[in-house]
Structure 1
């Protein structure tokens, strides 16, 4: 089955025609329209749009003095702060590619990205909230420097004069704005080239669909180093002239304080974030999550699958609908989302956004019938330019006609609603039957003792190509019973809700599931643990 996004009253061609040439046009547009309006709050001070635009101008000049040229990669190591925002726009101003790297990555991961990207300069935004960033800077011999607009000193690395300079393009469709490295647990990371048009399209469409206005206050805890935090949260918020409240790291206490003290109206997060919030606030005497007083008009989950049980609990907690969506780094990231005016009670990731087309196909590339499972293909202004320095990987992901194969299995109902079934590469073959981990995880996450779970395959010891199903679970410490009793309870619970071949051979309880800085569970690491 195939379909195009529901327009929701949006003229896509008009949106595309009204986009600035570069993402740095966002702060300039609002600096001209509403110079004193609040743009950022970094925990210490407010930044007006005029101040933000002035900081971008100052930093653009600094980058030129540091001999960063059009077509160079500028690597920025850090965690959410005003400097990351300013550097993103300043790099765009001179047609350099921003390469955001989270300071909490390991030395090996940071060095891999530095080597692959060939960055000409590295700037470390070494704030007190990110000592790891400072450690990376010291390890690389970076020198302290005072930025032109901030009282937190940066660290600036030496000039890497040997890095190849990419030819700049006048067209925003071909000029790369950001080189984003996908989270990898094994092997080399892939650098996704996203253009100015990619990012501006998502910023414009997502902010319009969510009805953002200059009066909105959005929480910026999702890492700017990740496409969700960069495009949907940061750029989407500022595109609407709203105010972004930056937070370097997620904690339930910090979120509760921001909801209360900063009067947030927009909350975007990953399911794991909401699960932690529920765990922190607990349940009332009626067994339901305690209500959290707020001024939110919109809450959204993305980045990983949202289980129906978590969705229901969060909606009770916040008193607003928890909207769902789907995307990936290669699609900048948004492909689909539930509509603000039509919240859903199921696990659908909504309709394709305006201007984006989707197809659900079989192994031959033919469209499947409505309601049938198949591979999800996507086409639109949000599709990446490709993987940097990886033409073979780019060719493997792309399909004729401008389509990209997401690698996800999905189904599309007759009304156009998409449901993600699972990852093609995560498929477990057990006794000849297909097991999609997402289905097992959804059932596990509905149990009150489970905060979150991850299901992976384990090679059979018989060496017959068969796989076992292994579930890793993070248990709610408030739930009674020993770990052994709870795992037995979970086995019995699953046996009554899943076919025998889908039930895990083993359930392993962990205090905390390994996760990336975005909150996404690192299944590659769990697969390695399962084999032992």
Structure 2
């Protein structure tokens, strides 16, 4: 099956886009120079400020040896300095690599070495983690244009430059190293056109304009954060930078700062509701909010309903992945849904469903989702063989996600590699997780498979609300009549917290590894476990 969304002419959209991501503010500098583009605690930059200061920073970066075609690492939480360095890299035609300072030293070394980065930059004045990494690399703290306390790492004299392409579809803008949910990070090459097309179509989907003020708490070190930054600056809106998520601060900002759009992962909203129930007001003040959306992980209907009741707004579900810049589909702003659908394909994105062997499937059948469009990455850096495995000769990218279409509406049911085959039956973890998550005491959960005598068992890891007295036995009883026998977990393990990335995506491979190694929990877990086998 193939779906092609929208009456919007994607070629017309592409023709109207700038060649580089730093050019998205050019028109606003002329037409609304004093409009605030970026805000963080204690600082605000207008469109004029942003344009002029990025130009100054570009000159300094060039004097520090950063060249067109170089890879330039920026180790930073969300902040104005990060946005400025990202746009300055675009002016230089350097490839920006934004890395979260909460990564380990090993992970940063791995990215630096694989990318062949020319220099590393650290926003040392923003977070102690960035400052600690800067110290380890022997970075010198200095001022770069209007930016203070920027750690400048040593120059990599052996770094080679990549060819510079005039075509925005070929010139790489950012190199994003995946969070490694499979355990092996890869460098995703996204072009300027990739980012601009995805941002523009998503902004159209959301009916965004210059009056929007987005609360940017999702890390710019991940594709969703970068895309949100670009789309908001593109429409002339304001980006409220947030370097670390704090539900109390988020609730306060929504109530008092004229925030119109909040994007999050399920954990973002779950923690907001926890804050309200434990120490917050009777009801969260939605202020000027007009749109709330969720992506990055499956959302359970119980959480969706609770969030919608709290804010009086539909929680719009979306789907995207790093390799697609990230937009693939979304629930339309003017057509909210009450189910777990991830909406219709974005304009210019084609989709089809295939078996794992590549055979076309009938409408409504579950299979691997393949997509094609101008948003699909150029490939994995320095890994042509990996690229060839996921992008075919016709440009179709295999997402590795299991999905189905109901008409033109897309449903994602899990990852191909996460599918559990139990006694010959296919079990999709997302379905089991949805049932468990509907329990009133469950904050979040993750279901993985465990080999067992030529078969697979289902193991569920669960995080409960603070103070909950629910036991694994209680949870087993709760799901017993909601799932057929082969879909029920063989074991439920209660943890204080599930291992997750900085965006809140649960690291299932760590949970699966803990089972293979015979541990009772991931290494980070030290508290006593509650578990139940059947």
TM-score bin, normalised by smaller chain: over 0.9
Partners of 2:166 and 2:68 lie apart in 1 by: 11
The structural deviation recorded for 1:465 is 2.7
1:118 aligned residue: 116
1:306 aligned residue: 299
1:3 aligned residue: 3
Partners of 2:183 and 2:297 lie apart in 1 by: 21
1:433 aligned residue: 425
The structural deviation recorded for 1:389 is 0.2
Match of 1:31 among 20, 29, 38: 29
Give TM-score, length-normalised by structure 1: 0.95
Q: Aligned runs of 1:25-424 on 2, under 5 Å?
A: 25-128=23-126, 130-150=127-147, 152-184=148-180, 187-231=183-227, 233-282=228-277, 290-414=283-407, 416-424=408-416
3-state SS of paired residue (2:21) = coil
Partners of 1:331 and 1:293 lie apart in 2 by: 31
The structural deviation recorded for 1:292 is 3.3
Instruction: After superposing the two structures, state which structure 1 stretch, 28-37 or 364-373, moved more.
Output: 364-373
The structural deviation recorded for 1:291 is 4.5
2:478 aligned residue: 493
Q: Is the 8 A contact 1:282 1:290 kept in 2?
A: no
3-state SS of paired residue (2:125) = coil
1:502 aligned residue: 487
The structural deviation recorded for 1:73 is 0.2
1:520 aligned residue: 505
The structural deviation recorded for 1:372 is 1.0
Q: Is the 8 A contact 1:223 1:518 kept in 2?
A: yes
The structural deviation recorded for 1:493 is 1.1
Instruction: After superposing the two structures, state which structure 1 stretch, 115-124 or 25-34, moved more.
Output: 25-34
Deviations 1:181-201 (A, max 9, x none): 001156541000000000000
Partners of 1:312 and 1:294 lie apart in 2 by: 19
Q: Is the 8 A contact 2:256 2:287 kept in 1?
A: no
Partners of 2:421 and 2:184 lie apart in 1 by: 26
The structural deviation recorded for 1:495 is 1.0
2:446 aligned residue: 454
Q: Is the 8 A contact 2:70 2:118 kept in 1?
A: yes
Partners of 2:454 and 2:146 lie apart in 1 by: 59
Q: Is the 8 A contact 1:291 1:316 kept in 2?
A: no
Deviations 1:307-364 (A, max 9, x none): 1111111101111111011110000001000101100111000000011101112234
1:472 aligned residue: 461
The structural deviation recorded for 1:126 is 1.2
Q: Is the 8 A contact 2:251 2:284 kept in 1?
A: no
Deviations 1:347-390 (A, max 9, x none): 00000001110111223423322211111000001000000000
The structural deviation recorded for 1:427 is 1.1
Q: Is the 8 A contact 2:183 2:509 kept in 1?
A: no
Moved over 6 A (4+): none
Give TM-score, length-normalised by structure 2: 0.94
Q: Is the 8 A contact 1:289 1:313 kept in 2?
A: no
3-state SS of paired residue (1:282) = helix
The structural deviation recorded for 1:279 is 1.1
3-state SS of paired residue (1:311) = helix
Partners of 1:123 and 1:172 lie apart in 2 by: 25
Match of 2:496 among 511, 522, 528: 511
Unaligned 5+ runs, structure 2: 519-534
